[in-house]
């Protein structure tokens, strides 16, 4: 607020704010006209201890939070948040100054102890802190550093380190980044969304914190995953960083430790469920698409219970996708197709692969559905093909092999339940262990999406040695690193040198002796989701179709040369991520055009898009990618 305006104006504004923050925009324009002495707006006014006089400021919203002179962080009261357009820009729990200091000191002491004792984790967090401080100071330089060193820093800002960051986000939180919508904000979201200063947003990554990687319910601290994903959208896809928005929807937490933690930043109550939960997500989706009709929303780390329901609820109405269900599936499909190529066969042989899947959560079911559809396309894309594809999968969850004899099977997993008569002929039964299934089926692929570290034990890997494949593949895809089903060293040393190995988290290659290397392929979602998002944006597609996702996966699968795949390298180097994303985005655009979904973007309308050749589409994508270069700055007075 300009220094010359009276408190009467401030009180009036506070009353108006209670009804709608849209009114704030009118008040801002009014204040721009009623401009007091210029020296007042340039000087700083401080409150004295004696008088406790209020400080007049000429800022609101993120401008306050990004100004170290006036920022209070989580200590802003709800009244101040309403008055200053801060509601939704901070975690919902208001902290006292004493709590803020206690939280900072607790984090500082914990870091000192961990660093003294010497485990590796604190050094990864230290790197994250240093990068985050650079991000706070100089965004252009931050992305310049990140792009130039993407192979080194992607694991720091994303998998696997982002899990540790989310677990400790309460202590790491300094400045807010993104928006927070909570169960307490029902009825307010349509006005709250206008508190975000950008008039155009291309990409939103949203989480409810219910299933962060394989770490479970981390509540409001899960915003770290949305921030990390969007950093990769900028670095890999060239989405303008001023047009991205990380979002946390805080509907409570069922993590008892957080519920009892006096320093926890989120709502300290159990999670909303049922229609109450859906009401919050519905209101959020309506709000963001009302303000930004062409935005793309990526759902991230929602628990399995809601991941599929929300995907089916929104995908036909909004430009959205779920990375855990669809992104993970696409990367896995690309890897599975690569594994077929590594056997010296063509990708069209994929429907012959016998695949044992450990894990039936949202990621596992997402991969199963995508793999089944891929096989069916290759077999003729009809009901018979879909039925035939089902016979290639054996799904094992925490209760063992899933069959049609089991009661209360998750509806999403039910199509993959094996017929009990068939299973008996294979020497198995309902609830058979993973070891028993691998021994009897002798699969070509052992695919882990269980979030259970070490699940692929010595016994399981020994059983895989009986595989009928000339080159069995092991996909230990669970994140973070500690949740990987096995390590590459275990895979190569137990199953043999000829195995194809992939994981969700990065591992170092294994030296097998005599100059031979066991390649560790990281099946990282960042190979696909930036290209899916960028391709959808530049095509102007109304929705994100299965065909567009399939095109992305097939593009990634074909990216590797024949020589690479025969050497066991089925995923490209992260250092090539900008080029990979460019190619994937072009494939998505091409598919959107063929499905008549493309509506164009900015100057490139749908008619012009349809005239572009493949090379011209790639060039269009390349020219649309943002690069971190300092712009020429010109000051314009209000």
Tokens linked to 49: 């201890």
481 band by pLDDT with thresholds 50, 70 and 90: confident
Task: Check whether 407 has a pLDDT greater than 80.
Answer: yes
Range in 60-64, 275-279, 321-325 the model is least confident about: 60-64
Residue 301 annotated as lining a ligand binding site: yes
C-alpha radius of gyration, the chain, whole number: 26
Q: Which residues contact 131 (CB under 8 A, 6 or more apart)?
A: 142, 145, 146, 153, 156, 157
Query: What are the distances in angstroms from CA 281 to CA 82, 204, 320?
Result: 22, 14, 13
Tens-place pLDDT, residues 518-545:
999 999 899 999 999 999 999 999 999 9
Tens-place pLDDT, residues 337-381:
999 999 999 999 999 999 999 999 888 998 999 999 999 989 998
> Could you give the 3-state DSSP secondary structure of residue 305?
helix
Task: Check whether 613 has a pLDDT greater than 70.
Answer: yes
114 band by pLDDT with thresholds 50, 70 and 90: low
Average pLDDT over residues 106-135: 67
Residue 524 annotated as lining a ligand binding site: yes
Q: Residue 80's pLDDT is what?
A: 87
Active site residues: 158, 229
Model confidence, pTM: 0.79
Q: Residue 110's pLDDT is what?
A: 67
587 band by pLDDT with thresholds 50, 70 and 90: very high
Tens-place pLDDT, residues 153-194:
898 888 888 888 888 887 788 777 899 999 999 999 999 999
Mean pLDDT, rounded, of the chain = 87
Residue 211 annotated as lining a ligand binding site: yes
Task: Check whether 462 has a pLDDT greater than 70.
Answer: yes
Task: Check whether 319 has a pLDDT greater than 60.
Answer: yes
Tens-place pLDDT, residues 279-316:
999 999 999 999 999 999 999 999 988 999 999 999 99
Buried/exposed 314-351: b ≥16 CB within 10 Å, e otherwise: bbeebbbbbbbbbbbbbbbbbbbbbbbbbbeeeeeebb
Query: For residue 317, what is the DSSP state?
Result: T
16 band by pLDDT with thresholds 50, 70 and 90: very low
Average pLDDT over residues 395-406: 95
Dump the DSSP string for 135-187. HHH-HHHHHHHHHHTHHHHHHHHSTTHHHHHHHTHHHH--S--SEEEEGGGTT
Q: Residue 315's pLDDT is what?
A: 96
Task: Check whether 40 has a pLDDT greater than 50.
Answer: no
Average pLDDT over residues 504-519: 91
11 band by pLDDT with thresholds 50, 70 and 90: very low
Higher pLDDT, 98 or 498: 498
Tens-place pLDDT, residues 427-447:
999 999 999 999 999 999 999
Tens-place pLDDT, residues 47-96:
333 345 677 777 888 888 887 667 888 888 898 889 888 999 999 999 88
**Cβ count within 10 A of residue 312:** 10
Residue that the structure tokens 């995923």 belong to = 571
All domains of the chain in start order, with CATH: 53-149 (1.20.1370.30), 176-317 (3.40.50.10380), 352-522 (3.40.50.720), 525-622 (3.40.50.10380)
CA 50 – CA 48 distance, rounded (Å): 5
Would you call 169 exposed, middle or buried from its count of C-beta atoms within 10 A (0-12, 13-18, 19+)? buried
- Per DSSP, which regions of 325-440 are E strands? 355-358, 393-397, 400-401
Residue 579 annotated as lining a ligand binding site: no
Tens-place pLDDT, residues 202-260:
999 999 999 988 789 999 999 999 999 999 999 999 999 999 999 999 999 999 999 99
Q: Residue 631's pLDDT is what?
A: 67
Residue 300 annotated as lining a ligand binding site: yes
- Let me know how many helices (H) and strands (E) the chain has, helices first: 29, 16
Residue that the structure tokens 């009036």 belong to = 12
Average pLDDT over residues 621-632: 87
Residue that the structure tokens 């390349």 belong to = 622
């Amino acid at each position: 607020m300009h220094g010359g305006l009276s408190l009467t104006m401030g009180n009036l504004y506070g009353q108006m704010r209670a009804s709608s923050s849209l009114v704030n925009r009118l008040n801002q324009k009014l204040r721009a006209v009623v401009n007091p002495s210029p020296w007042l707006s340039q000087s700083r006014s401080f409150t004295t201890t004696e008088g406790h006089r209020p400080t007049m400021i000429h800022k609101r919203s993120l401008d306050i939070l990004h100004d170290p002179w006036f920022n209070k962080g989580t200590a802003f009261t709800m009244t101040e948040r309403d008055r200053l357009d801060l509601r939704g820009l901070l975690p919902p729990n208001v902290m006292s100054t004493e709590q803020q200091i206690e939280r900072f000191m607790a984090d500082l002491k914990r870091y000192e102890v961990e660093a003294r004792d010497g485990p590796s984790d604190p050094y990864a967090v230290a790197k994250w802190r240093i990068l985050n401080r650079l991000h706070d100071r100089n965004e252009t330089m931050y992305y310049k550093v990140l792009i130039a060193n993407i192979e080194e820093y992607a694991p720091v800002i994303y998998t696997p380190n982002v899990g540790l960051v989310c677990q400790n986000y309460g202590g790491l939180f300094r400045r807010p980044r993104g928006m927070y919508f909570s169960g307490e904000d029902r009825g307010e979201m349509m006005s709250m969304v206008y508190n975000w200063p950008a008039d155009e947003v291309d990409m939103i990554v949203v989480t409810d914190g219910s299933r962060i990687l394989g770490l479970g319910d981390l509540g409001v601290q899960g915003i770290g995953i949305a921030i990390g994903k969007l950093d990769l959208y900028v670095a890999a896809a060239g989405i303008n960083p001023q047009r991205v928005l990380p979002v946390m929807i805080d509907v409570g937490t069922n993590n008892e430790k957080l519920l009892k933690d006096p320093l926890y930043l989120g709502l300290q109550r159990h999670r909303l469920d049922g229609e109450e939960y859906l009401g919050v997500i519905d209101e959020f989706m309506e709000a963001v698409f009302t303000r930004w009709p062409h935005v793309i929303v990526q759902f991230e780390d929602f628990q399995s219970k809601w991941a599929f329901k929300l995907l089916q609820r929104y995908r036909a109405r909004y430009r959205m996708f779920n990375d855990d269900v669809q992104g993970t599936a696409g990367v896995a499909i690309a890897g599975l197709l690569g594994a077929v190529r590594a056997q010296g066969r063509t990708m069209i042989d994929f429907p012959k692969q016998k695949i044992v899947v450990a894990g039936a959560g949202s990621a596992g079911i997402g991969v199963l559905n995508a793999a089944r559809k891929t096989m069916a396309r290759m077999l003729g894309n009809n009901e018979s093909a879909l039925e035939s594809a089902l016979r290639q999968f054996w799904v094992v969850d925490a209760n063992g092999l899933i069959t049609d004899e089991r009661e209360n099977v998750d509806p999403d997993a039910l199509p993959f339940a094996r017929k009990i008569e068939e299973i008996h002929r294979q020497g198995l039964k309902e609830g058979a262990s993973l070891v028993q299934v691998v021994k009897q089926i002798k699969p070509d692929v052992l695919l882990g999406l269980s979030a259970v570290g070490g699940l692929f034990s010595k016994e399981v890997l020994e059983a895989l040695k009986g595989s009928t494949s000339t080159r069995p593949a092991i996909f230990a895809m669970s994140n973070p690193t500690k949740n990987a089903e096995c390590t590459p060293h275990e895979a190569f040393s137990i199953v043999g040198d000829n195995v194809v190995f992939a994981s969700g988290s990065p591992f170092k290659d294994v030296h097998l002796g005599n100059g031979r290397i066991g390649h560790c392929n990281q099946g990282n979602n960042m190979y696909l989701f930036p290209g899916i998002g960028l391709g959808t944006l530049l095509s102007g597609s109304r929705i994100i179709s299965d065909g567009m996702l399939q095109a992305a996966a097939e593009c990634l699968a074909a990216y590797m040369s024949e020589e690479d795949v025969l050497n066991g390298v089925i995923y490209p180097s992260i250092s090539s991520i900008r080029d990979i994303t460019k190619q994937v985005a072009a494939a998505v655009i091409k598919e959107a055009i063929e499905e008549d979904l493309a509506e164009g973007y900015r100057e490139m309308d749908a008619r012009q898009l349809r005239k572009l050749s493949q090379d011209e589409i790639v060039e269009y994508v390349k020219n649309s990618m943002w690069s971190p270069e300092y712009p020429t700055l010109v000051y314009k007075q209000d």
